[in-house]
Structure 1
């Protein structure tokens, strides 16, 4: 059994995972603007509560996996770079924290890569060797696998910056500094900021909403809000372009979509797939589309997979 932690932008998820099954899980508010290190005592308490509730102890656990939304040094088990949140964790000794507070060996990975591995190992892309994943969460996270190996690159950032490939070079400047990133044009955090500058917004029901995003737009569009309908169509163009960018870069057999947006998969997936068929240069055919089996647990499962793989490697297996 492994302890797994997913440091998201809104919530921190904690799970106990055994052989590809999440036995129990919980979450606590991320409060990411206040940093990550201040949340570690609460994370530790959350782990101990989960263990107690499941009738097990740390002695029953073999390892711990931590997923972070940034560029990771997997070997050094540190966070190398991140934008806007959890910046206090840059260079932090997570392995030392795990050893001293929990007495467990640690593996650290980017959250989108962990989600990809979770789907490849246990989910709707089980057994695939060539895949890309897109998580439509607070931001837009991506990961890629080629020939059964997760793409990492020389400096650990290959595959995970698909949300920072431009879909409009004249678009909004992203928090990464690049103009027109997919994330700056069409992510949950960016949409309200961009929409407020567009003609017709003041007359839309969206103007009276607070803390709105994907679901609010789709609901307003369904209810006949003309501005929301135009915005939805525009977002589909950006999401489709972002997926095509990944297909052109990594040549996958399957595209895995995850995150809160996929609550509306029945409505959006056929349109995204059609957009890809129209615009991707794939003479061999079109990649298969699938939705993450359980977006809430993909990252936790992937981190458990990595923790178990590290344990086998340490034994020379």
Structure 2
């Protein structure tokens, strides 16, 4: 599929990788529907994308504001995306989850698993009848190298991304007799606000290489156009992914420095699940769509 013929539903569009992906997609002449929580940010982002677009044909850039941590918002999003004619779904929204397992509360763990894994599953399921009716469609999951390589400090986050990759692989095989392609992109650590100060310290202490979000965005467009089923970014991460798949126990001793660089455990987390996972949000926004001129 060429980006120029794509109508892309992009979740997490206002985040670091999301913004770069939107720029790369529009730069490749794809039409994009930006999905995020803040109407003001999305409207400004849509205007900027069209203003900076060099394509004289000006692809469509629209936006839809919704808090995807609220399951009820997914039906409305799917209906609007289908009406708009989306033929590519890029699942990019997500939450970080870093730290020793004992330091994470039950609510934090539920939030990560809900947004990183359950929401892409449910949105995909809701959109499948629409996607099946198209001449060609793609579902692209933005996962992580940590969906194939578990590191100390990322037990919950890796669980969400291992699950996401497993879902993508199973779904790809399930839809093998359809015109829907399923793809998985596994970036390594990326320079965005997604990383907390603790993660930045951990990366520095372990000499973890980081990519800029623009390089991840270029890889996303390349993956979409290539049709490859999955791609992991960075070296030695790509090698570690392969080794971990073949002989996972070989790498167990390679992460001593990573364990030593984790934040100190002050006190165990308490069990608290009094409210459903909602994640950080700018505001409780109603769902709306705006078509930018």
TM, length-normalised to structure 2: 0.32
Larger helix proportion, structure 1 or 2?
Answer: 2
Q: Which has the higher contact order (CA 8 A, sep 6+)?
A: 2
TM, length-normalised to structure 1: 0.30
Q: Work out which of the two has the higher radius of gyration on C-alpha atoms and give 1 or 2.
A: 1
